[in-house]
Amino acid sequence: MKAPAFDLVVVGAGGGPDETNLSAYLVKVHNTKWEDGILALEAGSGQGALARLLRKQPNLFHSKDSVNGTSHKSHTASEIYSFVKSFLLTHAHLDHINSLVVSAGSFGGGRKRVHGLVQTLKDLELVFSDRIWPNLASWKEEDDSSKLLYSALAADENYAPIHSDVSVQAIPLNHGKNALGQYSSTAFFLRHDQSQHEFLFFGDVEPDSLTEKPQTINVWRAAASKLPDKLSSIFIECSWPSGRKDNLLFGHLTPEHLGDELATLAAEVVKHRRATERSAHDGRRRKRQKFSALIEEDLHGALDGLRVYVMHCKDMDRDDGRPAHDIIVEQCQQIVRDRRLGAEILAVVQGMHIEI
């Protein structure tokens, strides 16, 4: 296996209502130290959840491949958050911003940027309004450096630098309809600039099949040419268990819909590979040839080498006490196995340290 490009620690991975396990991921470039700078991806849970995790897992931030018995300094949760240089938010629902808001007045370690699409940052501004919470964020670089600094990302094909050696491409997603209209979230391609290795991280998302103006397809098209060498890890939500009715999804996926989305990605991958093969064989004739429609068998194994990390499972009460992510991930695995897409489906669990 190639050397990892990133380390990711899961501070919280649930989709509510447990407020101690909400979307929050701490990311660093693999060959750097945590104290060199952290990118916080979502900020639902934060220092409180991390402090509890560190009591159980004091070595959570130790690197797996450290050699020569190097002794590590263990950091407290607030020290870890003082190393955060910037936050990256998919949308401003409370389960993704809660800890950022609550901790905004007490972060150590200098100015922190908050990156997101303009709408996400404007939504966050509604909270930092001096009404719901003191205004501890600003759009102006020259403002008090104790304030968070809003830093808007464009939704285009360009990669914007957001952290030392890390750039991001942002693609808007649909996350359900409300009284104001279509509500948006974001998918991010995070790229380690030096190795060009990427991972794909989804905000909350509704199935493309249920929306008037599908947008997730744009993400799959952008991903297709990168699998599996440049892009081998996707983090995506599956909030609900199998069988939940479409009118009760509230802008989220079920295992069946996730299976459909991954099949769409597989189709894009196959189309891309066929187009590349054809252009390699015969550049001139290529333009006149139409793709024959893909059938189910064409997708078999198309996602070989891809790891799909399932997150944002909503808690449910069960007599056997099994956590929601156990049930939902098992259902996703079955569907992907039945469709023979080839991807490996994994659960994202609070307290995991994932190398990407």
Q: How far is the CB of 265 from Zn ion (least distance, A)?
A: 22
Chain centroid to CA 121: 17
C-alpha distance from residue 142 to each of 126, 138, 139, 171, 199 (Å) = 21, 9, 9, 29, 33
Nearer Cβ to Zn ion, position 206 or 256?
206
Nearer Cβ to Zn ion, position 93 or 244?
93
Nearer Cβ to Zn ion, position 29 or 311?
311
Q: How far is the CB of 248 from Zn ion (least distance, A)?
A: 15
Nearer Cβ to Zn ion, position 61 or 240?
240
330 contacts: CB under 8 Å, gap ≥ 6:
none
Residue among 8, 11, 13 at smallest CA distance from 324: 13
9 contacts: CB under 8 Å, gap ≥ 6:
25, 26, 27, 60, 61, 352, 353, 354
| C-alpha–C-alpha distance, residues 260 and 304, integer Å | 17
Nearer Cβ to Zn ion, position 40 or 267?
40
Nearer Cβ to Zn ion, position 33 or 177?
177
Q: How far is the CB of 235 from Zn ion (least distance, A)?
A: 13
| Tokens at 8, concatenated | 């990711």
Nearer Cβ to Zn ion, position 138 or 184?
184
Q: How far is the CB of 185 from Zn ion (least distance, A)?
A: 6
Q: How far is the CB of 82 from Zn ion (least distance, A)?
A: 26
Q: How far is the CB of 42 from Zn ion (least distance, A)?
A: 9
Nearer Cβ to Zn ion, position 95 or 123?
95
Residue 149: which H helix or E strand, with range? strand 148-153
Q: How far is the CB of 120 from Zn ion (least distance, A)?
A: 11
Nearer Cβ to Zn ion, position 204 or 268?
204
CB 3 within 8 A of CB 349: no
| C-alpha–C-alpha distance, residues 273 and 317, integer Å | 44
Q: How far is the CB of 15 from Zn ion (least distance, A)?
A: 5
Could you give the 3-state DSSP secondary structure of residue 71? coil
Residue among 270, 273, 312, 318 at smallest CA distance from 295: 270
| C-alpha–C-alpha distance, residues 349 and 13, integer Å | 6
| C-alpha–C-alpha distance, residues 169 and 218, integer Å | 12
Residues that bind Zn ion (CB under 5 A): 93, 95, 204
Q: For tokens 């007490």, what's the residue?
A: 106
CB 350 within 8 A of CB 25: no
Q: How far is the CB of 19 from Zn ion (least distance, A)?
A: 12
Could you give the 3-state DSSP secondary structure of residue 309? strand
Q: CB count, 10 Å around CB of 237?
A: 27
